[in-house]
Structure 1
Amino acid sequence: MISAMIGRQLLRGPGPGSISRKHVSFSASTRHNSYEDTISNLKIGKHTRVIFQGFTGRQATANAKESIEWGTNIVGGVTPGKNGEHLGLPVLPTVREAMEKLKPDATGIYVAAHQAPGAIEEAIEAEVPLVVAVAEHIPIHDMLRIHSMLRTQSKSRLVGANAPGIISAIGKCRIGFQPLPCFMPGRVGIAAKSGTLSYEAVASTTRAGLGQSLCIGMGGDVLAGTDFVDALNIFEHDDETEGIVLIGEIGGEAELEAAEWITDYRKRSPNPKPISALVGGIHAAPGKVMGHAGAFTLPGESDALTKIKHLEAAGVTVVNHPAKFGDAMKLLLGKSGRASTGAAASGLSERRSIHTMRRVRSTAKAFASSFGSTIQKRNLYIREDLALDLLREQGINASEYSGKGRKRMLAVAVDRANLSPCIIASPANNPGDPHAEAKKFAFDYQSGFDVSQVPAIAEHLQLGHSSKESLPKLINGLVDLYMKKEAFLLETMFVERLGDLKVVGARFGFDDAAYRSTRRQSDIHALRRIEDEDPQELDAEKDGIVYIKLPGGGYIGTLVNGAGLAMNTVDALADAGGEAANFLDTGGKATSETVKKSFEVILQDKRVKVIFVNIFGGLTLGDMIANGVLLAFKELEMRLPVVVRIRGTNEGEGQKIIAESGLPLHAYDDFEEAAAKAIELANKP
């Protein structure tokens, strides 16, 4: 069971260099109070007393009714300014009062993004052991401040934000919005960045008769309160977990840290629990955020293929589609000698056999790695000339590159491993890749940049003696702009010029959530130039659809619900020999109207010869998606063939609607069969 033996050494602090993580076992007498001591709070179950913040709201009410009926021990909730009852349970005005009277083990935060930071902070101050934040679009700098708080305490553990939550199938405890029909008590622990991919992994292990023990939604946020290593520490010591599934994607280094942990685990354990994984975003578009707030690559971060290679080297079985997790785990559990059936195994098996765990992957397209072309953006990226203007307002010498002087890279960005801001510096000795020698120098969000790090940064940049004195001014100017204007990345290229440092290139990304959720930074948001953006992407954005036109000659238009599943659909189509024309995420709560609008957007791309609808019904209902497809056919006078794959909630009803429509639609429940049909139709002359 989970005990005080769970631990991890996390090297943090103001010193330069990368973050090193490894497993450490320790006794109570040698432990130091830190955020790492809260890992055991993730072990929820029948014993867990749950409250909701925002309890009387519409979404919280609906979720609470479902969760209570399923078996979750919800003991009440909090709504500011209210005392009384709701759903027959107490409602209190503050979390502190709820903590004193209801003694909860966990809180689920069901408030809007602009209210979520305050709600999370209130829960931390009240020392609630587990805080689950599901809201999307919480501003990055609010989360940086929250993580700075978390590091100073050892009582509260955060799951999220931008996460589906955490759920114990065995303990019937749900804190989040996971689709309950997919779950079955069993033996597989799941940790995932993507909600929709995790639901499909859950359904796959359920169909395979394995079921799940504990499922932890890391979420797709830039800064996750709980990561893969935290989850692995829980699963290692959990007697109810026999096998482990990890679902990652581009952005950050969490998968590499997990691979390092797994390598160490397999060395120290005589019978390690088998682990299978998936990483989305192999064919991600350069310069784009792939749906999730955190699905973009900062300077020095690894791509999806590198993550896969590290996981495979650690002994992890990597699959290319979540529907394969059931058979993969069944095979791995059988080989390990561990239990291969769940606590409530039904004997169900997959409808279609899976022939391979993972195909040999084609090499991802090589993207140019010159300055400014490999950095993915979080929507609000401003023109270089406007970025240089902002630097000049800071008193920094900045102008276009004259062709003279060696360029070096200096940036202020989010350090996802350290959950803090950092300086990123590179001497840029390789002109083709200015990030090749990038090194991070982390600093605390509340304390600010520590000037004692300047000599180490100057040394890494290989600056001349006369230029070293100018470095603090440049760093302080960038840090000041980063903090005041809520940037997530301020990247510059500079040269040494007569003992001074002159910025000759700038790539600035600001957090659009600060404006969209709270209306902060309106002056920065006004710098957006929509004339520089793709008209189709802008058209989709108006309806809450994330559409990205992919480079190349792809003929298959994709329509998917959920960012992780949309990334995986592009990757899996490539593995099957096809090429997607676009990434399109209708959102986790797609409606018939958004499906119709998605068709309209895809049809504007003249390359598209077939549309592939890949839906896993978690929050989205299969029959509603099917009706959306029919609506699009009737109102748009469709001329292109459409392949529809519907699994999950109401999949039978959705498949029936498609099959009985009398329209030229091709319906499947198996991904490989659907992909093969889409590729066949795309290749027709």
Structure 2
Amino acid sequence: MLPCARASPMSSLILRPKRIPVSTFPPSGAASFSLSPTRASYEKTIEHLKIGRHTRVIFQGFTGKQATANAKESIAWGTRILGGVRPGHDGEHLGLPVLPSVRAAKEHLKPDATGIYVAAHQAAAAIEEAIEAEIPLIVAVAEHIPLHDILRIHSMLNTQGKSRLVGANAPGIISAIGRCRIGFQPLPTFAPGHVGIVAKSGTLSYETVASVTRAGLGQSLCIGMGGDVIAGTNFVDALKVFEHDADTEGIILVGEIGGGAEEEAAEWIKEYRRRSRNPKPIAALVGGTLAPPGRVMGHAGAWIGPGENSADSKYRILQDAGAVMVDHPSQFGRVMKGLLAKSGPDVQEIQDSATASAASGPQRRSYHTSARRPRPASHTTPFQKRGLHLNATQAADLLSQHGITVSSKPDSTTEPSRLISLTVDRSARSPAFYVSPSTESKDTNARARLVPFSYHTGPTDRTIDTVLQHTQLSSAPANTVGAVVQLLRSLWSLYTSHEAVTLSTHVSLAPYSSKVPPSSPLHITNPSLIFDDAAFRSCNRHVDLHALRDTSAHAIDAAELAAERHGIVYIKLPGGGDNPGQDSNHNIGTLVNGAGLAMNTVDALSLPSAAGPAVAANFLDTGGKATAETVARSFELLLADARVAVIFVNIFGGLTLCDMIAQGVLLAFEQLRLDDKGVPVVVRLRGTREKEGQDVIAKSGKRVWAFDDFAEAVGKCKELARGRSAGGLVG
């Protein structure tokens, strides 16, 4: 039986803003990296994603600790690593050559791909060096690369046809059939087979892979799209590869909130199913159903921007396109097995091709429900609260420094207020003006348009003319048009000089009087300025600007600020009162490694079940490299919320080791005296060193329930939460 349709009303769908195509490319010879005059050239590099035994790989940052450990594993697995690069050094490492530059490595080793294993503050330069050396496939795994570094990289990629980027902030790309890994995926989870997987989230992709392996199907090619604001390779790119890949019989897509890649994939799926006689079956998941509006859910790109759809809406759009939707990745193995049986391939043959040693036993039972907790429909989406968000006074002061005067809203005017915003077009992989002739909430998004342009050239005259026309200002008096043009150019100057994510203003025309001409033809109000925190945290840029951050209690929750100091992303989910069993079912504290898995855990806990009402009290992502100390600090955060009746630790180990997490749980028990507090803990461990982690828990003698099956763990959480809410302990 396949999962039932999600009860999501069609009214919750938001029509994404129309993208106005604008000529965005630099003139010939504008930069040494401009190898092709059309953006379509980058599309031709999709073929480089088809890696396998033939793929010759180098590592940048080869001699570093992470790269060394990764290279040893990958070489032992079968990946053809030829050597690597350490800037300015020649030599040998792991018995392989070390060269001083990517260009030298290209000349001597003739690689097909490079894996970039350097810190975020060095990653952009490393990617640029690989592009200039024309390496066919570039895989960037680093998190927290500044947004404007990525925008600059894509202005290079969009004008050439030699190099393809996977990432950044991605687990990488891996061919299970071809034994080629460029990334940090947990190898024991993979088995050669015939299911292609593309995912935004690393941890959700590992869960998906494990489910497919346990079902005996195995994987052909797995592509990590990554969780950044802009991805070098998106869902449609991966789908094009899977369509023509003879090794791929079924396709899985794992999405989440943020951007429109899922909707673009849905359009591609509809067209594919129309033109193909026997289309390959496609299953999908979208994380972030319960993400609070305007919040960044761990991944840099996991926020719902203006005009973007919620997770529920994306779910419905993909479902309507023909994808079979699931609620948790543990369902994928069973679902794909059923789809393949219906579509014609010999499932037994596919199962036989997967290595038995990679399977971790039969999938015991799937997490499935026929009823859903619907999310309230909304037609308006607030701008994201990401990075540094200046208050109104700070925003007005900074705009003033760039020649933009913010005025108080006119008491009365017949002139409409327009929205003029400078943000990121994730699909075009470039900056864009997001503009609407109205700021009325009921039709701002419906009438809004994205006008993308090249980061390299900045907004051209054509870009500005398009903005003027869409905001219905092109026929305004000359001094008004001049003022709008100056506003657009000043916003762009501020955007680049201070590395902004989004700059937004409302603009209306000042009433004209021949007796008392206005000091300015424009009223500029409601400024909202958001700047990239990665530029500050990774590269220590804009120190003075980020010193303006308001960390007072009214601006940011104290627990969230405390979490941040330990590298933890913690968001307290709203709902009900402050005590267990009083006015709220938000009584399960969640502790998860990985933003995508944390979002999906919150989603899954919201689904009704026989165990009774109990849902997540929070989103908590320990990060991809959680330590025992991080886990202990996470427990402190969870216990500070009086609503929490039970703690659910849900870990899928990639870089994070399950035994380390188990040790962190026991450390928390000792430091926080959990035995005395009587708060039960449910732990589910999968992935790297899962058996060792489960053994640590089993031998501890503590009040901990350990599971490897997600559905059983969720059921136990709800049972315990219901028991505590009723005033007792269940166990």
TM-score band by shorter chain is over 0.9
Amino acid at match of 1:390: L
- Of 447-456 and 295-304, deviating more is 447-456
Check the 8 A contact 1:397/1:501 in 2, yes or no.
Answer: no
Distance 1:33 1:260, change over 3 A: closer
Change (3 A) 1:359 1:490: farther
Matched, 1:379 2:387: yes
Long gaps (5+) in structure 2 = 1-18, 25-37, 513-520, 577-585, 727-731
Corresponding residue to 2:588 among 556, 559, 563: 556
Partner of 2:470: 460
Match of 2:105 in 1: 98
**In the alignment, which of 630, 646, 649 is matched to residue 688 of structure 2?**
649
Instruction: Find the partner of 2:605 among 564, 573, 576.
Output: 573
Q: Deviations over 1:360-406 (max 9, x none)?
A: 4322145694xxx7222222111122112111222223133244343
Q: Give the deviation of 1:651 after TM superposition.
A: 2.0
Structure with the greater relative contact order (CA < 8 A, sep ≥ 6): 1 or 2?
2
- The residue that corresponds to 2:489 in the other structure is 476
Partner of 1:215: helix, strand, or coil? strand
Q: Tell me which residue corresponds to 2:398.
A: 390
Matching of residue 430 in structure 1 with residue 416 in structure 2? no
Equivalent positions of 1:255-294 (< 5 A) are 255-294=262-301
C-alpha contact 1:160 1:218 (8 A) present in aligned 2 = yes
Are 2:709 and 1:677 aligned? no
Counterpart secondary structure, 1:503: strand
- Could you tell me which amino acid in structure 2 is paired with residue 626 of structure 1? A
> 8 Å contact 1:281–1:568 — kept in the other structure?
yes
**What code does the residue aligned with 1:419 have?**
R
- Deviation of 1:485 after TM superposition, in Å, equals 0.8
- 1:623/1:654 contact within 8 Å kept: yes
Cα distance between partner residues in 1 of 2:387 and 2:458: 26
8 A contact 2:190–2:219 mirrored in 1: yes
Q: TM-score, normalised by structure 1?
A: 0.93
- TM-superposed CA distance for 1:432, in Å, is 4.8
- Normalised by the size of structure 2, how large is the TM-score? 0.87
Work out which of the residue numbers 158, 164, 175 in structure 2 matches 1:168. Answer: 175
Counterpart Cα distance in 2 of 1:245 and 1:309: 16
Distance in structure 2 (CA, Å) of the matches to 1:339 and 1:541: 50
**Aligned amino acid, residue 495 of structure 2:** Y
Is the Cα contact below 8 Å between 2:328 and 2:367 reproduced in 1?
no
Please give the per-residue CA displacement for 1:154-208, whole angstroms capped at 9, x wherever unaligned. Answer: 1111001111110000000000111101000001111010000000101110000
Q: Aligned to 1:470, what secondary structure does the other structure show?
A: helix
Comparing 645-654 and 273-282, the one that deviates more: 645-654
Report the equivalent of 1:4.
none
CA RMSD after TM alignment: 2.0
Residue pair 1:249, 1:295 contacting (<8 A) in 2 also: yes
Structure 1 alignment gaps of length 5 or more: 1-10, 17-30
Partner of 1:79: 86
Does the aligned pair in 2 maintain the 1:48–1:105 contact within 8 Å? Answer: yes
Quote the sequence identity (%): 60
In structure 2, distance between residues paired with 1:140 and 1:425: 21
- How many positions carry a matched residue from both structures? 658
Distance 1:509 1:350, change over 3 A: farther
Q: State the SS of the aligned residue for 1:492.
A: strand
The one-letter code sitting in structure 1 at the alignment partner of 2:391 is R
Deviations 1:476-520 (A, max 9, x none): 111111111110100112222136221110111101111111111
| Matching of residues 395-414 of structure 1 within 5 Å | 395-405=403-413, 406-414=416-424
Are the aligned partners of 1:274 and 1:336 in contact in 2 as well (CA < 8 Å)? Answer: yes
Kindly report which structure 2 residues correspond to 1:165-564, keeping only aligned pairs within 5 A, or say none. 165-340=172-347, 341-342=350-351, 343-346=353-356, 350-354=362-366, 356=368, 359-365=370-376, 369=380, 374-405=382-413, 406-428=416-438, 430-432=440-442, 434-463=444-473, 465-466=476-477, 467-498=480-511, 500-531=521-552, 532-553=555-576, 554-564=586-596
- Tell me which residue corresponds to 1:626: 662
Could you tell which deviates more after superposition, 508-517 or 658-667? 658-667
Are 1:614 and 2:650 counterparts? yes
How far apart are the structure 1 equivalents of 2:332 and 2:129? Answer: 38
Quickly say closer, same or farther: Cα 1:178–1:563, change in 2 above 3 A. Answer: same
The residue identity in structure 2 corresponding to 1:621 is: L
1:403 and 1:279 map into 2 onto residues whose CA distance is 44
Which has the larger displacement, 334-343 or 133-142?
334-343
CA contact (8 A) 1:242 1:339 kept: no
Note the alpha carbon deviations across 1:194-238, whole angstroms, 9 max, x for none: 000000101110000000000001111111000001100100000
Q: Aligned with 1:385: secondary structure?
A: helix
Q: Does 1:134 align with 2:132?
A: no
For residue 571 of structure 2, what is the amino acid of its counterpart? I
In the alignment, is the contact (CA less than 8 A) between 1:280 and 1:568 conserved in 2?
yes
Kindly provide the amino acid, as one letter, of the partner of residue 529 in structure 1: D
CA distance in 1, matches of 2:44, 2:146: 27
Q: Secondary structure at the match of 1:530?
A: coil
